[in-house]
Amino acid sequence: MKNNMAVKKSIKTGTKQKKAPARTAPEKPAANNSGDKFESTAPLEFRDNFKVVSTSVKKIEGPGLVTGKPMFTDDIDIHGMLYAKILTSPHAHAEILNIDTSRAEKLPGVRAVLTHKDLARIVHTTAGQGYPEPSPYDSFTLDKKVRFVGDRVAAVAADTLETAEEALELIEVEYKVLEPVLDPLQSQKKGAPVIHDEEEAKMIIPLAYDKNKNLAAHADMSEGDVEAALKNSHRVFENVYESHYAQHCPMEPHVCVTHLDANNRLNIITSTQVPFHTRRIVAQALGIPVKRVRVIKPRIGGGFGGKQEMLIEDICAALTLKTKKPVRLEYTRKEEFMSARTRHPQHIVLRTGVDKNGIMTAIDMNIVMNTGAYGSAALTVLCNSASKVLPLFNKVKDIRFYGDSVYTNLPVGGAYRGYGATQAYQAIGQQVDIMCRELGLDIIEFYKKHHIKEGEGSPVFQKMGEGKEGVEMKIGSCGLEKCIDIGVKEFRWYDKFNKKRSEGDWRYGAGMVCLMQGSS
């Protein structure tokens, strides 16, 4: 405030300025010259009625979309653009002993071939997270070792896509096939093959990480005495739940176009959810200044977390830097399944206790999460399996969580809708259903009794955040109970649930689960 006043005073006492031309005040609304109230300059149609629920709002990009205007990365077409393809590994775990690209380089139309020999060996993480990232630095743009089927081996840029694909077939690679780790439960066993035996792999912040034991991340927390609570419970339920791999499958695959502008600045036009993280990581991976990189994110055709990662931009950029030409790289659907990111599979052992009154007394959740060959989001997804799930049952005073995120020679996990909460809710939702069925409890009333309410907190909030320590939080608003009541009515819960029919082979299936997700 003092600075503002000083500026005003200097204007009054300083050299006399020429009077600015008068501005015509808008007719609606009348200009307010009192200085006491701010008047919006937005068009009338956007400020006459601020009610948006149950109203139709025009999408400003609508006309461009329905008329086929160029709005996506795939629409970019730069004169002289080259087409890139990536040679991927057919082996889950292998060392590259020798790679011969001479035949590919001689193919007419091929402008560049890259292997690990052509690039600086700079370790980084591909996870689209703020620096310093809580994911291990365990990736290289191209490496002398491959760690899953679909891992990068070499890259080609050519005049046409067909030429680039033909060039890949001419690259000769000699592999030393290594024993793979395909079971996350065996990953940390003594004698298991070490997936990241390179000396560069590390965690840049002090978090649990042991590459020699294939441990990409670890998280745990406890509140109360879980073992005593389980021992004193009327019933203890213990079950194992498995969540499987899933691929995001957006309509638009990963696609990127790179080129150098008149100032020799690297321009990256890419279908990404994290343009600023992509800028920083590409610069780091290729050893160039961040100020020399510009990332442009057009409209994307779906991401769902799969594009919350620097995945193909470094390869595309490296080819542009070598050829000095625009380069386009786009994954096929097959390449999306083989080389892009997935939902992290989890093995969950869940123990819960219940007293004679049907009140849950303890929760003990143990997770082994398969992060695949690289540790992208290995910690944060694991943490969310606790921090976004366990607080829902804040009436339970004795809670324990223990989780390991382990390397395997399988596809790489990453950000995916739900981000860890999905897997844990699958487990605890089934557990509640089993408990209520076996004890003859009304699952509707069970959730109403146990769920966190407005104004309440949870010790889990305080002890665990997303890859970091938690903070004390209170629920600001909660409409869950009303939501349950509406659902019971609209789905005719008590009419449909577990009703046997005397005729035919069909029965209604009905189930319910309550979930919680944070918002700002």
Taking the C-alpha atoms of residue 269 and residue 295, their distance in angstroms, rounded to an integer, is: 6
Q: Please report, rounded to a whole number, the percentage of residues in the chain having pLDDT higher than 70.
A: 88
Q: Where in the chain do CATH 3.90.1170.50 domains reside?
A: 82-178+249-339
DSSP strands (E only) in 61-161: 82-88, 94-100, 110-114, 145-146, 152-158
283 HSE (CA, 13 A, CB side): 17
Residue 509: pLDDT band with limits 50, 70, 90: confident
b/e for 142-164, b at 16 or more Cβ within 10 A?
Answer: bbebbbbbbbbbbbbbbbeeebb
Contacts of 351 (CB under 8 A, 6+ apart): 230, 236, 237, 238, 362, 363, 364, 365
Residue 500: pLDDT band with limits 50, 70, 90: low
Give the other-Cβ count within 10 Å of 322's Cβ.
17
What does the DSSP 8-state code read for residue 204?
S
Contacts of 486 (CB under 8 A, 6+ apart): none
Instruction: Dump pLDDT digits (tens) for 65-114.
Output: 999 999 999 999 999 999 999 999 999 999 999 999 999 999 999 999 99
Taking the C-alpha atoms of residue 249 and residue 297, their distance in angstroms, rounded to an integer, is: 19
Taking the C-alpha atoms of residue 82 and residue 162, their distance in angstroms, rounded to an integer, is: 11
Q: What are 154's strand-pairing partners?
A: 87
Kindly state the average pLDDT of the residues 482-486: 96
Residue 247: pLDDT band with limits 50, 70, 90: very high
Query: For every residue of 246-314, which 3-state class applies, written as one string?
Result: CCCCCCCCCEEEEEECCCCCEEEEECCCCHHHHHHHHHHHHCCCHHHEEEECCECCCCCCCCCECCCHH
The highest-level CATH class for domain 211-247+342-474 is: alpha beta
Q: What is the dihedral of CA 312, 318, 321, 323, to 10 degrees?
A: -90
Place of tokens 């005049």: 159
Q: Where in the chain do CATH 3.30.365.10 domains reside?
A: 211-247+342-474
The alpha carbon of residue 123 and the mean position of all alpha carbons in its chain are separated, in whole angstroms, by 21
Give the other-Cβ count within 10 Å of 168's Cβ.
18
The model's pTM is 0.88
Place of tokens 């760690």: 147
Angle at 122 between CA 370 and CA 181, to 5 degrees: 25
Taking the C-alpha atoms of residue 353 and residue 27, their distance in angstroms, rounded to an integer, is: 69
Give the other-Cβ count within 10 Å of 460's Cβ.
25
Residue 7: pLDDT band with limits 50, 70, 90: very low
CATH architecture designation of domain 82-178+249-339: Alpha-Beta Complex (3.90)
Taking the C-alpha atoms of residue 378 and residue 371, their distance in angstroms, rounded to an integer, is: 6
Number of helices (H) and strands (E), helices first, in the chain? Answer: 14, 15
Q: Shortest CA distance to 180 belongs to which of 192, 198, 196, 197?
A: 192
Kindly state the average pLDDT of the residues 177-204: 98
Sign of CA pseudo-dihedral 332, 334, 338, 343: positive
Q: Is the pLDDT of residue 17 over 60?
A: no
Instruction: Dump pLDDT digits (tens) for 446-481.
Output: 999 999 999 999 999 999 988 888 899 999 889 999
Instruction: Dump pLDDT digits (tens) for 371-389.
Output: 999 999 999 999 999 999 9
